[in-house]
Structure 1
Amino acid sequence: MNRAMSLGVLALLAAIGAAGTFLVQQATAPRIEQEQRAIQARSLLDILPLDSYDNQPLDQPLTLTNVQLGHSTLLAGYRATRNGQPSAVLLHSRVSGYGGSIDLLIGIAADSKLVGSKALRHSETPGLGARIAERPNAWLQGFIGKSLGDPGDAGWALKKDDGQFDQIAGATITSRAVIEGIHDSLRYFDEHREQLLGSPAHE
């Protein structure tokens, strides 16, 4: 086999290999993307009780974009449903902490009670405010079951500000920002309940 023929065979094999790799990538890309989305969904949705929804909330985004509230900004929202009925809303909120912005995911059930919250992103001080991102987070769990009226407006503050909540030790500014962000979201939910749930409010 002369040199030209050898090079031709190698080029042909390389082309076949490249084509095979491309076809495999094309065939597996949707599955990989689906699995990555499922991982992302599990990470985001772990603040919702597993038996509280049977849809894919991330596939039901709400029309929320940079909604300015008293102490926070709503960046996005998602609706969870069970048996076709709205069960909860997830609100992506941004507040200003000690080190910069803190992104929160706040889950509110259809009965207006907080079902969970978590920090998605932050720039807080390691060992202090950065503890907001710890999982599980006993401090954030202390808000579960609370609502706009429980406690009342005055109670949605740190104890040092005459409110009802403790702070993360050594992280007053972080704690205050998160409490204000959760309170803002609960108020927004209360004021826009029909829009967020997509059905008439139930008394």
Structure 2
Amino acid sequence: MNRTANVTILTLLAVIGLGATYLVQRSNEPQIAAAQRQLDSRTLLDVLAPDAYDNQPLEQPLTLTEVTLSHSHLVAGYRASREGQPVAVLLRSQTQGYASTLELLIAIDPNGKLLGVKTLKQNETPALGGLIGDWPNAWLAAFTGKSRNEPAESAWALKKDQGQFDQIAGATITSRAVINAIHDALRYFDEHRAALQGSGT
């Protein structure tokens, strides 16, 4: 065989290989997408007990209005329900930490009480503010059961700021940012409760 024939054969084999790869990827896209949704669901919804809801909250995102809050910004919201009744509203919140933007998932029950908080994204200082990314997280768990007015408005602060909450050791700015974002989300829920739970506008 001459050089031209060799190049033609190699080119043809490369095209066939690329085409086969493309076809395999296309045929597997639905399974890949479903697996990614399942992974996202587990990652996001593990602030809730698996048997607490029976819908697919991530497949029906809520329409949020007035999303720029005092200390944070809401980027998404979801409603978890069981037998058609709301059991939780989940708000994705972004706020500025010490070294990075923090993204939190904040779960609130129908009475406005906090069910749980999870850090979805952060790039804070390792071994200091970076501890906010641990899951499960003992510091974040201390907020469970709190609501907009429990404790009182002035107590939604660090103890060093005359508030009720301890800080993550060595991470004052990160701790303040998270406390403020959680309180923002609880206020938002309280002010938009009917729409978030699907019982009105």
Give the structure-2-normalised TM-score: 0.88
Q: Does structure 2 conserve the Cα–Cα contact (< 8 Å) formed by 1:66 and 1:75?
A: no
Q: Assess, with a 3 A threshold, how the Cα gap between structure 1 residues 24 and 163 changes in structure 2: closer, same or farther.
A: same
Match of 2:63 in 1: 63
Map 1:151-190 to 2 at 5 A. 151-190=151-190
Letter in 2 for 1:57: P
Map 1:44-193 to 2 at 5 A. 44-64=44-64, 67-193=67-193
Match of 2:32 in 1: 32
Q: Assess, with a 3 A threshold, how the Cα gap between structure 1 residues 126 and 12 changes in structure 2: closer, same or farther.
A: closer
Q: Percent identity?
A: 57
Shift of 1:123: 2.5
Shift of 1:26: 2.3
Deviations 1:53-102, CA, capped at 9 Å, x for gaps: 11111111111277111111111111111111111111111112111321
Q: Assess, with a 3 A threshold, how the Cα gap between structure 1 residues 16 and 70 changes in structure 2: closer, same or farther.
A: closer
Shift of 1:27: 2.0
Distance 1:155 1:188 in 2: 18
Shift of 1:128: 0.6
Distance 1:8 1:175 in 2: 63
Q: Assess, with a 3 A threshold, how the Cα gap between structure 1 residues 178 and 5 changes in structure 2: closer, same or farther.
A: closer
Distance 1:21 1:49 in 2: 40
Distance 2:22 2:153 in 1: 59
Shift of 1:25: 2.5
Distance 1:94 1:194 in 2: 23
Q: Assess, with a 3 A threshold, how the Cα gap between structure 1 residues 7 and 168 changes in structure 2: closer, same or farther.
A: closer
Distance 1:111 1:164 in 2: 22
Distance 1:31 1:83 in 2: 28
Deviations 1:159-203, CA, capped at 9 Å, x for gaps: 1111111110111111111001000100000010001111159xx
Distance 1:6 1:96 in 2: 59
Q: Assess, with a 3 A threshold, how the Cα gap between structure 1 residues 17 and 133 changes in structure 2: closer, same or farther.
A: closer
Shift of 1:21: 4.0
- Tell me the matched-pair count: 200
Q: For structure 2, which runs of at least 5 residues remain unmatched after alignment? A: none
Q: Assess, with a 3 A threshold, how the Cα gap between structure 1 residues 85 and 11 changes in structure 2: closer, same or farther.
A: same
Give the structure-1-normalised TM-score: 0.87
Q: For structure 1, which runs of at least 5 residues remain unmatched after alignment? A: none
